[in-house]
Chain A
Amino acid sequence: MRMTKRWRTYLLGYLLILPSFLFLIVFTYYPVVRSVWLSLFQKVAGGVTKFVGLANYEYMLGSRLFKQVILNNLVYSIGSVIPAILLGLLFAILLNKKLRLRGAFRFSIFYPTMIPIAAASMVWIFLFSQSYGLLNKVLDVLNLPSNIDWLNTTPYAMVSIIIVSVWKFSGYYMLLFLSGLQSIDESLYEAAVIEGANPWQKFRKITLPLLSPTTFFVTLMAIINSFQSVDQVYVMTRGGPYNTTNVLLYYIYQNGFVYWDTGVASSASVVLFSILLIFTFVYYFGLQHFVHYER
C-alpha cells in the first residue's frame, strides 16, 4: 500500500513535467543538435546534400563578409551597450529621489520597452529621413552639418541602428538599476553625511560598490540583447549600405531565408548560439553566486 502511494507520486511528478519537457526537447534541445549536424553538410547540385566536415566554418571564417559581420556586431554591441547602461544608471540615480513629476519622467523613459522595435523603426525612418526628417532639422537649427543621409551612408547607418537600440533599452536598464538602488541601506548614506562626505564621495564609495551586482547583470543582459535585437536592421537598413550594418543574426536570416544556404545558416547559428551560451552562462552562474553571497 505504502509502496504504491510512493510510486503514484513519482508517476504524478513525471506526468506533470512531461508536457513542458516534450516542447523543450523539440524546440530547444533538438534545434541545437540539428544546427550542429546541418552545419557539417552542404547542398550540391540536384538538391542533394553532402557531408563536408568543417568546410562551412572554413568558408565562413575565410570570407570577408563574415569577418565584417562579426566586426559590425562588435561595434553595434559596444556602441549600444555602453551608452544604454550609462544612461540607465543616470536616470535611475536621478529618479531615485523624491521628485515632482517622477511618474511622468518614468513613463517617458520606460515606454520604449512596450513598443515593438519593428514598429518603432518605422517612426525612426521618418525621423532619420534626409530631406524632411526631424533629426536633420534639429541639426540645421544648431548650425551643424544637416544634410545627412542617415540610413544610406557609412557610418551614419550604424549610428542610426545604435540610436534605436539605446532608445529602446535604456529605460529598461533604468528600472533594473532603480531596484538595485532601492536595496541599498539608507543608513549608510546617513552615516556618510555625518562623516562629512560630499555627494560624489557618497556615489563613489557607497552607491557604485553596492550597485556592482546589478551593474554586472545589466551589462551581461545588455550584451546578450545586442546579439538578439536586430529588428531595426531588417526594417531600416537591410544590413546595408554595403553590409555595414549586417550583424550576426541578420546574416543567419540572409543565408537561411534569402539564399537558402542551409550549411552556412546552420554554421552561423552555431556561432551565435555559442556566443550567447557563454554570456548567459556567466549571467546565471553569477546570479547564483551573488544570490548566495547576499544571503
Chain B
Amino acid sequence: MKRRRFLSSSLVYVILIVFSLIILMPLIWMTTTAFKTKTEIFSMPFNLLPTKANLDNFANAWSYAPFSSYYLNTVITSFGLLAIQIVTITMAAYAFARLHFPGRDFLFILFLTQLMITPQSTIFPNYLTISQMGLIDTRLGVMLPYFASAMGTFLLRQAFKSVPESLEDAGKLDGCNTFQLIRHVFLPIVRPTLIAFSIISVTYHWNEFLWPLLVTETSRSRTLTVGLTIFAQQAEGGAEWSLLMAATLIVVGPLLIAFTVFQKLFVQSFANSGMKG
C-alpha cells in the first residue's frame, strides 16, 4: 500500500516536471539566447548556457529600434486606458447598482451585449471609424474602442451591490455628495475588484497585437508587440537570433517580473475573471 502510494506520487511529479519543462522551454531558450554571442548560438557541440553573460544584445536591440518610444506608448496606452476605464465603469456601475431610473434593467442588458461582440470581429469597421476621426497613428486611436468596458461595469456593479446600505446613509449624513460618496465610501470597499480588473485590463492591452498593428504606423504611437515584429522583419535576413531574443525579452520582461512578484494576486484575478466574463 505504502509502496503504491510512493509510486503514484512520484508519477505525479514526473508528469509535472516533464510538462513544466516543455512549457518553460521558450522562456529558457529566449533568456539564454539573449545573453549569447552570435557565434555561440550555432556552435557545436551545443551549450544551453552562454559562456559568459554579455549584455551587448540588449544594448544593440535598444539602439537599433526605438524601443524607448515603444515602451512609452505601451505604458501610456495600457495605463491611460485603465485610468479612463476606471472612471467610466465606476460611474456606470454605481448607477446600475444603486440608483433607480426608468429603463435601468433594459439598459444594463444592452450593456452586457458588448460581451458578445468581441473586439476582434469589429476590427475592420472600427478601423474605418478611427480613420475617419483622423486618429490613425495616434495613441488615442489605439485606446478609444476600449473606453467603455461591459466586463468592468459588470464586476464593479456586483461589488457595489454588496456595500451595506448603512454605510451609504452614514456618508450622506456626513454631507457627502454622490461623487464624494463613490470616492470615499464605495471605491475603498471594492478595492480587490478594482485591482483584479486592473490586472486583467493592463495585461490584455500590454499584450494586444492585431488592433495596434492596424492603427499605428510610426514610432509615434507604435506599441511594444508591434514594434517587436517590425524589428524582426528588419533583422530577419541575418538570422540575428540573439539580438531578436534580447528584444523579445525587453518586451515581455515587465509583465513577467510583475507576475513573478505578485503571483498570487495575478492568479486570483485571472481565476475570477473567467467565470464572470
Interface residue ranges, A against B (CB under 8 Å): 9-10, 12-14, 16-17, 19-24, 26-32, 34-35, 38, 87, 90-91, 94-95, 97, 99, 103-120, 122-124, 126-127, 132, 134, 137, 167, 170-172, 175-176, 178-179, 214, 217-218, 221, 224, 227-228, 230-231, 234-235, 249, 252-253, 256-257, 265-266, 269, 272-273, 276-277, 280-281, 283-284, 287
CB atoms of A280 and B267 under 8 A apart: no
Q: Give 4 A-B pairs besides A19-B147, A119-B228, A126-B29 with Cβ atoms closer than 8 angstroms.
A: A31-B122, A113-B270, A123-B30, A272-B120
Min Cβ gap B53→A in Å is: 19
For B207, what are the chain A residues with a Cβ–Cβ distance below 8 Å?
114-119
Among residues of A, the one whose C-beta sits closest to the C-beta of B108 is A17
Known: A176-B271, A228-B120. A280 touches B153 (CB 8 A): no
Interface string of B114-146 (1 = CB under 8 A from A): 111110111111111100000000000000111
B252 touches A284 (CB 8 A): no
CA A181 – CA B184 in complex, angstroms? 37
Is B59 among interface residues, defined by CB-CB distance under 8 A? no
Given contacts A109-B23, A167-B23, contact A16 B99 (CB under 8 A): yes
Closest partner residue, chain B, to A108 (CB atom)? B20
Query: Would you mind naming 5 contact pairs between A and B with Cβ atoms under 8 Å apart?
Result: A21-B148, A35-B124, A108-B23, A119-B224, A276-B120
A211 to chain B, nearest CB (A): 13
Interface centre among A90, A103, A108, A119 (most CB of B within 10 A): A119
Tell me if B24 is interfacial: C-beta within 8 Å of chain A: yes
Which range contains the number of B residues in contact with the other chain?
Answer: 35 or more
In this assembly, does B49 line the interface, its C-beta being within 8 Å of a C-beta of chain A?
A: no
- A94: contacting residue among B12, B23, B229, B248, CB under 8 A: B12
Question: Once the chains bind, are A20 and B124 in contact (CB under 8 Å)?
Answer: no
User: Is B255 located at the chain interface by the 8 A CB criterion?
Assistant: yes
Whether the Cβ atoms of B116 and A20 lie closer than 8 Å is no
The 8 closest A-B pairs by CB, nearest first: A116-B207, A13-B101, A31-B125, A23-B148, A16-B95, A108-B20, A31-B122, A280-B116
Q: How far is the CA of A26 from the CA of B147 in the complex (A)?
A: 11
Q: Given A99-B12, A175-B274, A252-B123, does the pair A116, B209 have CB atoms closer than 8 Å?
A: yes
List, in ascending order, chain A residues with CB within 8 A of B1's CB: none
Given contacts A127-B25, A287-B277, contact A231 B209 (CB under 8 A): yes
Contacting residues, chain A, for B255 (C-beta < 8 A): 114-115
A19 to chain B minimum Cβ distance, whole angstroms, is 5
Q: Is B91 touching A172 in the complex (CB atoms < 8 A)?
A: no
The reply to whether B125 and A172 form a contact with Cβ atoms under 8 Å apart is no
Of A28, A117, A167, A277, chain B has the most CB atoms within 10 Å of the CB of A28
Q: Is the CB of B102 within 8 A of A10?
A: yes
Contact B122 A35 (CB under 8 A): yes
The DSSP consensus for interface residues of chain A is helix
Q: Which residues of A contact B24 (CB under 8 A)?
A: 108, 111
* Contact B148 A280, beta carbon cutoff 8 Å: no
Q: Which residues of A contact B209 (CB under 8 A)?
A: 116-118, 231, 234
Task: Name the A residues within 8 Å of B42 (CB-CB).
Answer: 132
- Is B92 an interface position by the 8 A CB rule? yes
Q: Once the chains bind, are B128 and A179 in contact (CB under 8 Å)?
A: no
- Across the interface, do A284 and B112 meet the contact criterion of CB distance under 8 Å? yes
Determine whether the beta carbon of B232 is less than 8 Å from that of A122. Answer: yes
CB <8 Å contact, A34 and B88: no
Which residues of chain A are within 8 angstroms of B274 by Cβ–Cβ distance?
A: 172, 175-176, 179, 217-218, 221
- Cα A150 to Cα B59 with chains together (Å): 31
By the criterion CB–CB under 8 Å, are A277 and B210 in contact? no
> From residue 88 to 109 of chain B, which have CB atoms closer than 8 A to chain A?
88-89, 91-92, 94-96, 99-102, 104, 107
> Closest CB of chain B to A198's CB: distance in Å?
11
Q: Is the CB of B229 within 8 A of A235?
A: yes
Chain B residue contacts of A231, Cβ below 8 A: 209-210, 225
How far is A280 from B147 in the complex, measured between Cα atoms in Å?
Answer: 21
Alpha-carbon gap, A112 to B267, bound state (A): 12
Residue in A closest to B21 when the chains form the complex, CB atoms? A108
| A275 (CB) vs chain B CBs: closest residue | B121
How far, in angstroms, from A14 to B104 measured CA to CA in the complex? 9
How long is the Cα–Cα vector from A13 to B94 in the complex, in angstroms? 8
Q: Does B56 contact A (CB under 8 A)?
A: no
